[in-house]
Amino acid sequence: MRKPIIAGNWKMYKLLGESIETALALKSLVANTNHCEIIIAPVFTALKTVCDRLEGSNIKVAAQNCSTEQKHGAHTGEVSAEMIKDVGASHIIIGHSERRQFYGETNESVNLKTKACLLFDLTAIVCIGEMLAEREAGNAENVVKSQLIGALEGLTVTDMKRIIIAYEPVWAIGTGKTATPEQAQEMHAFIRQTLSEMNGKEVSETIRILYGGSVKPDNIESLMKQTDIDGALVGGASLEAESFSKIVNYK
């Protein structure tokens, strides 16, 4: 059985005070939830405080990015996986489509960042997903497959068991256009099949694949009913504790 995961990506939305406020509101709203793992991803400047305030709760904390560099040194503006671990986070979102589109993230950098995560015993949430034009050209599966192969190159079977995949079709992010549960299921099954070809059936059956892209309280349930959807990575609807808690408690 794969335990579901509901993760909230706060992107660059909240100041420190707002991050604390939302985290604490969420903490009390989901205090009795244990059917799924709950993760929130604040900005770097709020990471340590939010980790401290959520210590001992059922909410884990993720960073939204990390450096490709594993060793500390002259890398102005970068934050290493070890530094993220040091302040109490347990996960890192890697290769989000906004980073791929606007900040030069490539399959190679995603691969290096994933390896940095693993080295410091953090769980990488590796994001993949096609653009609208790629889907319309019938290329969605090819794109997703090459992102998977690129991101996971060189990972062992043991490593693979310690990562999470997030499938986020770029055309569904922040647009209000969710993939239908059937469209999402179809791609999740394809991803699981590809993982099985890459690293064997056992890994592919263990690994959790989250769906992301306009997930809301009113569409989460139908998405979660799909066999290969193991959870959600939520942007907009994770910013308010109330709506995110409804997604967390989808059943």
Scored b (16 or more CB within 10 A) or e, 41-52 reads bbbbebbbbbbe
CB 124 within 8 A of CB 92: yes
Of residues 166 and 203, the one with the C-beta less far from ligand PGA? 166
Packing angle between helix 16-29 and helix 44-54, nearest 10 degrees? Answer: 30
Residues interacting with ligand PGA, by CB under 6 A?
9, 168, 173-174, 212-215, 233-237
Nearest to ligand PGA by Cβ — which residue?
235
* Chain mean position to CA 209: 9
CB 194 within 8 A of CB 150: no
Q: How far is the CB of 215 from ligand PGA (least distance, A)?
A: 5
Of residues 122 and 215, the one with the C-beta less far from ligand PGA? 215
Q: How far is CA 141 from CA 64, 129, 165, 169, 193, in A?
A: 25, 9, 15, 11, 11
Q: Which of 40, 151, 159 is nearest to 97 (CA)?
A: 151
Q: How far is the CB of 73 from ligand PGA (least distance, A)?
A: 31
Of residues 46 and 170, the one with the C-beta less far from ligand PGA? 170
Q: How far is the CB of 95 from ligand PGA (least distance, A)?
A: 11
Of residues 151 and 203, the one with the C-beta less far from ligand PGA? 151
Q: How far is the CB of 236 from ligand PGA (least distance, A)?
A: 3
